[in-house]
Structure 1
Amino acid sequence: MTRFMFPEIGQFSLILALFFAIALATLPMVGYFRQSLLLLNTARPLTHVMACLVVIAFLLLAWAFITDDFSVLYVSQNSNVDLPLRYKFSAVWGGHEGSLLLWVLILALWCLAVALRLDSLPETIGPLVLSVLGWVASGFLAFLLFTSSPFVRILPDVPTSGGDLNPLLQDIGLILHPPILYMGYVGFSVAFAFAVVALITGNLNAYWARWARPWTAAAWASLTFGITLGSWWAYYELGWGGWWFWDPVENASFMPWLAGTALLHSLVVTEKRGVFKSWTVLLAIFTFSLSLLGTFLVRSGVLTSVHAFAADPTRGVFILALLVVLVGGSLLLYALRAGQVRSSVSFGFSGREAWLLLNNILLSVLTLTVLLGTLYPLLFDALGMGRISVGAPYFNAVFGPIALCLMVFMAIGPFSKWHHTKLATWWKAMLGAALLSMGLAAGIVFWQLFDWLTWFSLSVAFWVVFMTLLDWFNKQFVSGKQRLKQWRTLPNRYYAMVIAHFGMAISLVGVIMVSVNSHEAMVKMSPGSQAEVGGYVFVFDSMELIKGPNYLSDRGHFQVYQQGQLVADLYPEKRFFTTRQQVMTEAALGAGFTRDLYISLGEKLEDGAWGVRIHIKSFVRWIWLGGLFMVLGGMLAAFDKRYRQKRERA
């Protein structure tokens, strides 16, 4: 057997995986309705085999990239003999076909993880969850095989070097960002599967919420990490110094994150109090629906042109069919079971349930706001009404105020009691936290001469911090003589909430400061010249030509001084990729805890001069630091020891 048979083996593995996925989708479901334990028990081995086959296909495609097998069309379009090895591997998911295979691989791994945890679920629930995931896997495997196979050959006319990977993707960001982002996208399929199984069995109680919580938290943490990495990658790679552009691709991942955040909080209330059952089920369906929508909007070409379906009608039909079957079918099931989903437990307007409900409503409004701004231009164009653009002005004007209100209420929820909270408890706590927050924000605004909106936004960030600390402090001093040891008895899920809320506040401070306290200049500079921006002196020392593995680069050397002291040496580049005949900008960063020095090269001008873009970004890294705090909180919640218990009856 030669390596030239490997693509055929990969294709055959995907075909077998499709058959096993269909078996996984049908046999356990039939076993449930026929009450056949034998058929139910097929779920685990079918999952193992399906996952192994998908892994084999993925590894064989990766091997085709690593060995420069340009007889495979997808490899010849997205790789090159001179491409560094690490980018040859990440090029596996650098295009449409490979990214879908990555989607299927991660779905198979999530299925495998559920199969490994079947002992913690009732004997009928676990196989049914895998069966629903089998339906999802069947749809994607069919989509991959019939419209987007990555193993298509172009024999006998095999190119000698390949077309190369998009230069924009030749970065560490492509290696890390898509797989982690897809872990979040696909992970919400598990929460979706639990919701569908709860509707099928009628088991809409606290147990299903407890089963779904760790999987939802893990998916949410992965998606948070993926969005954080994507923002960081765009910041340093695109050369504009921006960290969020309200681009449709960014919005495609942000919408399921917002809905997933609402789902996480709704699951808490359903588990603890048995309320919001219908809301929680709908959120599970809605969140996964947005994950599907985001994945296909990005990879189907719809965002480039709404006529992409017309250019490839087969792919378009599959996209629409998957959305209709998975989303429409689950909503139909919900409609049929709606009478069993209602909650009979009541709560007061001052209870924690009410505040969490208000937060979820605001999160849903934010999700719909982003959805409208993302899809409206596409629908407008599809109806032949012309082309319009919905950008940052719309999102900032609509999204910002609602998000600030959300954070105000977010801090009150944990401080409240279940069912009812005494008003005296509220006012004492909130008055002190509010005065302290507004006073601290006022001091910063007065010192830096910011406007009133900055004062209000900083007050909200400090309010979240102080209210969270006050809640933690109160829980410490509630157990008599063992007060200082109380922190050890608080569950991981509580500290997960504290860390995640701190992360939100940290990110908000970063967003505020980078928006109101940054400096930017576009200047013409030649070697030997200097420019002063934001209290820093940038000296253009020299320019040199360097040769990379598959590009030529003009690299500049800049020295940055503050008050006469050298604080950074920066090396921005302008790279020319020879195969694709494409020019890319590589920004240089001088990172700091409270500021970033940012330089990117523009166009080359006459007499050896260059257009140079200089930024001083205040507190920009706090945005991503807050994201990492949220990731830590999500993972801490996902691995709470309560979810590692053995099987219990529903």
Structure 2
Amino acid sequence: MFFTLKLGQFLLFSALLNSLFGLLISFKAKDKKLLSGLNKLSLLLIFMACFVLVVSLVNGHYFVKFVSSHSNSHLPLIYKITALWGGQEGSILFWSFLLSLQLSICDMKTNLSYTIGFFTLSFFLLLANFISPAFSFLYPPPEDGRELNPLLQHFGMVLHPVFLYMGLTGTVLPFSLYIGKIFDPGQNINYRKWAVFNWAWLTAGIIIGGWWAYSELGWGGYWAWDPVENASFIPWLTLTAFLHISMMEDKFRVLRGFSLILISITFIMAMTGTFLVRSGVFISVHSFLQNPELGVSFLIFISVLVVIISYIFFANSDKLRKQFSLKFFSREFFIILGSVILISMWVGVFVGTIFPVIYESITGDKISFGKPFFNKIFAPLSLFLIIVMGFGQYLSWGDSRYKLKFFIAPFFLSFVVGAIAYFKFGFGIAIGLLSISFGVFVIFFEWIKDGVRMGRLFPLLAHLGFFIMSLGILFSQVLYKEGEFALLPEDEITFYEYKIKLLGLESVRGPNWEAIRANFEVSDNSRKFKISSEKRMYLTWDEPTTEAGIKWGILKDFYIVFVKVENNKVFVKIWDNPLTSFIWIGAFIMFVAGIGKFLKKTFFD
């Protein structure tokens, strides 16, 4: 059994040596096939190390410290496997695997791009070998392990880290490819397709995390502006801006400096977010344990990146500047305007997330910017962004005033939708619905007028998904209903159009938990259904967890949480959440559009 521990250590150390060798020769190597082969060898070694650790998790090799902390004999098989990314050490190993996977499938073309890739991979392998090793020996080994954090024993956490890590690790690809293009402009380097690829994974990862929070944490919401949530959202904003601004470089060879700044910020923010989450600076249900050595390592790595990027920017400033004329009513004007809005959002989230950390480090006092702060920033900026998207998505490059008449019909229909919404829901919903429906009608009218063109299909699908997701956010944030009640068995209460009856409590057991389940019968104007919510105690954890009862629906969710039992009364919280499903549907469309665009650029362009 100890063989697995030594084998894992050997594989990881071999991967580190291989990556460092690749880093050394990448400066001068003329044979790109050699560099590509070294990337693939790193991938193989890291994959084997991951496989060894998964085997240890499944078979209960508790002499491996990571296994004893995140697996036990009662844990279901699926969570024994996904415990690989359920803790600090395993997640860094898994992060290294996904990073090496993407470096292996990408044709870098320039030595500098390979150098950046090997440098980044070597850093994470150094962490995995020496700072946060997954293959640490534990003696004497316990008879059974601690098991995976109960909050992570959810299908959302099977998917969320995979998608999120793919998006975050992959930011090195467009970053390194774009740097390579600056120094070797003659090369045909398609950095945008990799930016789209990572944008799609990052989008899905963020929203799956919201779905997990909604399903598992029992507070009725999906986004709390938690610092760890923000850490993944920050690079998404700048990556989205880069995707649009870089279109102008492809078309006119302009705004190269702006593009370099955006993709550099994206990569640095992905690394900074990883540092803040893994060093323990952020205290959150999403974050890992404190590790000062890991934090110092990330600070050094990020500082080196900032110095290198600053040198590249200023040393190549002549290559990055080019004058161009900007027409007011044109696609490029609205692209720049939309990107400025995204950057304004980024500034708001970054300051609201990072400033409390800086303030505490200086004064010792804790402060935080809560949901009201972020909502005040995002509500007007999001509305402005949606309006800009509605116009900009149909305009041509250059002067597009001749297309003004096209917008008459979409605006008229969206005005009708907004007027109806005003009388039914009020001004806030009306203005939001008018803006969103305008963007949707513009897309549909383009398809009716010009047909579905392959070159435009996936970008418009991504916009359509964003509009659908925005509609779900608008309704679920503004029109939700909530209430708190205390019931005795067979009591019936009224919550708006719902009648809720407590059928009783029962004790239930799972493979590694015991629970008290509250059963309810719910009826509204058109249906009757039974639903339950639980308070669970896991065998090796002291704190209970809450399993919400959710009746999923296209137009609204019924959401109930069993809070506690006191004086024979069952206390519950209830939410009626409209159009929450539109968030998941819209994000799925955005993901499909991003992957579709990537595949089109890879196999058909």
Give the TM interval when normalised to the shorter protein: over 0.9
SS in 2 for 1:43: helix
1:253 to 195, 217, 232: 232
Distance 1:311 1:518, change over 3 A: closer
**Following superposition of structure 1 onto structure 2, how do residues 20-169 of structure 1 map, counting pairs within 5 Å?**
20-31=18-29, 37-38=30-31, 40-114=32-106, 118=107, 125-155=109-139, 157-169=140-152
1:243 paired with 2:222, answer: yes
Distance in 2, Cα, partners of 1:222 & 1:168: 23
Structure 1 segments, 4+ long, off by >6 Å, are 308-311
| 8 Å CA contact retained: 1:199, 1:333 | no
Q: Distance in 2 between matches of 1:411 and 1:328?
A: 39
- 1:185-204 paired onto structure 2 within 5 Å: 185-201=168-184, 203=185
In the other structure, the counterpart of 1:479 is: none
Partner Cα separation in structure 2 for residue 309 and residue 158 of structure 1 = 23
CA contact (8 A) 2:278 2:288 kept: no
Could you tell me how far apart the structure 2 residues matched to 1:311 and 1:585 are? Answer: 25
> Does the Cα contact within 8 Å between 2:62 and 2:68 map onto a contact in 1?
yes
Residue 4 of structure 2 corresponds to 6
Return the match for 1:506 from 458, 464, 468. 468
1:555 equivalent to 2:555? Answer no
SS of corresponding position for 1:246: coil
1:425 and 2:413 correspond? no
Relative to structure 1, is the Cα distance of residues 163 and 311 closer, same or farther in structure 2, using a 3 angstrom cutoff?
Answer: closer
Aligned mates of 1:310, 1:235 — CA distance in 2: 23
- Kept in 2: contact 1:544–1:555 (CA 8 A): yes
Q: Residues of 2 paired with 1:204 and 1:436: CA distance?
A: 48
- What residue identity is the alignment partner of 2:124? F
Change (3 A) 1:324 1:309: farther
Q: Partner letter of residue 621 of structure 1?
A: S
Q: How far is the alpha carbon of 1:310 from its aligned partner?
A: 13
* In 1, Cα distance between equivalents of 2:176 and 2:464: 31
Q: Percent identity?
A: 31
Q: Aligned pair 1:576/2:549, yes or no?
A: no
Distance 2:138 2:530 in 1: 48
How far apart are residue 28 of structure 1 and its match? 2.6
Deviates more, 1:565-574 or 1:525-534: 565-574
Do the aligned partners of 1:511 and 1:620 also contact (CA within 8 Å) in 2?
yes
Question: Which amino acid is 1:180 matched to?
Answer: F
What is the letter of the counterpart of residue 620 of structure 1? T
1:104 positional shift? 0.4
Partner of 2:580: 620
Distance (Å, rounded) in 1 between the aligned partners of 2:527 and 2:178: 58
Higher relative contact order (CA 8 A, sep 6+): 1
Q: Within 2, Cα distance between the matches of 1:340 and 1:636?
A: 32
The alignment partner of 1:411 has SS state of: helix
User: What is the one-letter code of the residue matched to 1:583?
Assistant: P
2:603 equivalent in structure 1:
644
Deviation at 1:475, TM superposition (A): 2.1
Task: Describe the shift of the 1:310–1:246 C-alpha distance in structure 2 as closer, same or farther (beyond 3 A).
Answer: closer
**In structure 2, how many angstroms separate the alpha carbons of the residues matched to 1:295 and 1:309?**
10
Distance of 1:575 and 1:410 partners within structure 2: 45
In structure 2, the partner of 1:452 is 427
Counterpart-to-counterpart distance in 1, 2:289 and 2:522: 53
Task: Map Cα deviations across residues 346-391 of structure 1 (whole Å, 9 max, x no partner).
Answer: 3422221111111111111111110000001111101115211101
Q: Deviations over 1:107-139 (max 9, x none)?
A: 01001111xxx3xx7xxx255433321111011
Matched residue, 2:481: 519
- CA apart distance, 1:343: 2.6
Measured in 2, the distance between the counterparts of 1:429 and 1:69 equals 66
Could you tell me which amino acid in structure 2 is paired with residue 245 of structure 1? A
- Structure 1 stretch displaced more, 262-271 or 230-239: 262-271
Note if contact 2:501-2:520 (Cα within 8 Å) is conserved in structure 1: yes
* Secondary structure of 2:529 counterpart: strand
TM-score by length of 1: 0.89
Q: Distance in 1 between matches of 2:437 and 2:283?
A: 41
The 2-side partners of 1:454 and 1:645 are apart by 42
- 2:360 corresponds to which letter in structure 1? D
Q: Unaligned regions of 5+ residues in structure 2, if any?
A: none
CA distance in 2, matches of 1:189, 1:397: 32
Tell me by how many angstroms 1:499 deviates.
0.9
CA–CA separation in structure 1 for the residues paired with 2:330 and 2:21:
47
Residue 619 of structure 1 and its aligned partner are, at CA, apart by 0.9
Partner of 1:639, secondary structure, is helix
Confirm or deny: 8 A CA contact 2:275 2:295 kept in the other structure: no
Give the 3-state SS of the residue equivalent to 1:540 in structure 2.
strand
Alignment partner of 1:415: what SS? coil
Q: Which amino acid aligns with 1:107?
A: L
For the Cα contact (< 8 Å) 2:565–2:571, is it kept in 1? yes
Asked whether 1:179 is paired with 2:162, we answer: yes
1-side partners of 2:85 and 2:55: how far apart?
A: 13
Count how many residue pairs are aligned between Structure 1 and Structure 2: 603
Structure 1 SS opposite 2:316 = helix
Distance 1:71 1:52, change over 3 A: same
Q: Give how far 1:309 is off.
A: 13
Which amino acid in 2 is paired with 1:360?
S
Letter in 2 for 1:472: W
1:72-93 C-alpha deviation (Å, 9 max, x unpaired): 1111111222111111111111
Distance 1:496 1:290 in 2: 27
The answer to whether the 8 Å contact 2:534/2:562 transfers is yes
1:366-377 aligned within 5 A: 366-377=345-356
SS for the counterpart of 1:612 is strand
Contact 1:274 1:345 (8 Å CA) reproduced: no
Distance 1:617 1:312, change over 3 A: closer
The alpha carbon displacement at 1:473 in A equals 3.0
**Paired residues of 1:181 and 1:227 also in contact (CA < 8 A):** yes
The equivalent of 1:536 in structure 2 is 498
Which structure 1 segments of 5+ residues have no match?
A: 32-36, 477-486
CA distance in 1, matches of 2:290, 2:326: 54
Corresponding residue for 2:314? 335
Task: Indicate the residue corresponding to 2:387 in structure 1.
Answer: 408
